[in-house]
Amino acid sequence: MMSDKYNLSDELNQSRELDQDQEKETAIYKHLADIGVMDKLVFALNEYIIKFGRTSNVHDQCFDLKLQVLANKKHLQDWVDKIW
Protein backbone atom coordinates (compact mmCIF):
# COMPACT_ATOMS: atom_id res chain seq x y z
CA MET A 1 0.00 0.00 0.00
CA MET A 2 2.77 2.48 0.96
CA SER A 3 4.82 1.60 -2.11
CA ASP A 4 1.76 2.34 -4.29
CA LYS A 5 1.62 5.87 -2.85
CA TYR A 6 5.30 6.38 -3.55
CA ASN A 7 4.96 5.00 -7.08
CA LEU A 8 2.01 7.30 -7.77
CA SER A 9 3.95 10.27 -6.39
CA ASP A 10 6.96 9.37 -8.54
CA GLU A 11 4.75 9.04 -11.61
CA LEU A 12 3.16 12.44 -10.94
CA ASN A 13 6.58 14.04 -10.53
CA GLN A 14 7.83 12.43 -13.75
CA SER A 15 4.70 13.60 -15.57
CA ARG A 16 5.22 17.17 -14.33
CA GLU A 17 8.87 17.10 -15.36
CA LEU A 18 7.93 15.80 -18.80
CA ASP A 19 5.35 18.59 -19.21
CA GLN A 20 7.92 21.18 -18.14
CA ASP A 21 10.49 19.74 -20.56
CA GLN A 22 7.97 19.89 -23.40
CA GLU A 23 7.07 23.50 -22.57
CA LYS A 24 10.75 24.40 -22.44
CA GLU A 25 11.39 22.72 -25.81
CA THR A 26 8.46 24.53 -27.38
CA ALA A 27 9.72 27.88 -26.07
CA ILE A 28 13.26 27.18 -27.27
CA TYR A 29 12.15 26.24 -30.79
CA LYS A 30 9.89 29.29 -31.03
CA HIS A 31 12.69 31.61 -29.93
CA LEU A 32 15.23 29.95 -32.21
CA ALA A 33 12.83 30.63 -35.09
CA ASP A 34 12.57 34.25 -33.90
CA ILE A 35 16.38 34.49 -33.87
CA GLY A 36 16.40 33.18 -37.44
CA VAL A 37 14.06 35.98 -38.52
CA MET A 38 16.31 38.51 -36.76
CA ASP A 39 19.35 37.09 -38.59
CA LYS A 40 17.58 37.52 -41.93
CA LEU A 41 16.64 41.10 -41.08
CA VAL A 42 20.19 41.99 -40.06
CA PHE A 43 21.47 40.42 -43.30
CA ALA A 44 18.96 42.44 -45.35
CA LEU A 45 19.79 45.67 -43.51
CA ASN A 46 23.50 45.07 -44.09
CA GLU A 47 22.84 44.43 -47.75
CA TYR A 48 20.82 47.65 -48.03
CA ILE A 49 23.41 49.73 -46.14
CA ILE A 50 26.22 48.39 -48.31
CA LYS A 51 24.33 48.77 -51.60
CA PHE A 52 22.96 52.27 -51.06
CA GLY A 53 25.41 53.64 -48.53
CA ARG A 54 25.13 57.15 -47.14
CA THR A 55 23.35 58.37 -50.27
CA SER A 56 20.22 56.69 -48.93
CA ASN A 57 17.89 58.93 -46.95
CA VAL A 58 17.30 56.08 -44.47
CA HIS A 59 20.91 54.93 -44.01
CA ASP A 60 21.16 56.10 -40.40
CA GLN A 61 17.77 54.63 -39.46
CA CYS A 62 18.75 51.29 -41.02
CA PHE A 63 22.00 51.30 -39.09
CA ASP A 64 20.20 52.12 -35.82
CA LEU A 65 17.58 49.45 -36.46
CA LYS A 66 20.31 46.91 -37.17
CA LEU A 67 21.92 47.70 -33.79
CA GLN A 68 18.57 47.37 -31.99
CA VAL A 69 17.81 44.05 -33.67
CA LEU A 70 21.28 42.74 -32.79
CA ALA A 71 20.75 43.75 -29.14
CA ASN A 72 17.33 42.07 -29.06
CA LYS A 73 18.82 38.95 -30.64
CA LYS A 74 21.58 38.84 -28.03
CA HIS A 75 19.07 39.14 -25.17
CA LEU A 76 16.90 36.41 -26.66
CA GLN A 77 19.89 34.14 -27.31
CA ASP A 78 21.09 34.65 -23.73
CA TRP A 79 17.63 33.69 -22.45
CA VAL A 80 17.53 30.57 -24.64
CA ASP A 81 21.03 29.61 -23.45
CA LYS A 82 19.88 29.92 -19.80
CA ILE A 83 16.91 27.59 -20.22
CA TRP A 84 18.72 25.19 -22.56
Q: What is the arithmetic mean of pLDDT over 38-59? A: 98
Q: Provide the residue range defining the domain that includes 32.
A: 24-83
| Residue 45 and residue 69 in contact, taking contact as beta carbons nearer than 8 Å | yes
Res 1: pLDDT: 52
Q: What is the arithmetic mean of pLDDT over 37-59? A: 98
Helices 59-83 and 2-52, packing angle to 10 deg:
160
Domain membership of residue 73 (yes or no) is: yes
Beta-strand (E) ranges in 1-84?
none
Q: Is the pLDDT of residue 74 over 90?
A: yes
Number of domains in the chain: 1
Domain membership of residue 19 (yes or no) is: no
Whole-angstrom Cα distance, residue 36 to residue 69?
12
pLDDT in tens, 14-44: 888 888 889 999 999 999 999 999 999 999 9
Whole-angstrom Cα distance, residue 36 to residue 43?
11
Q: What is the arithmetic mean of pLDDT over 1-17? A: 74
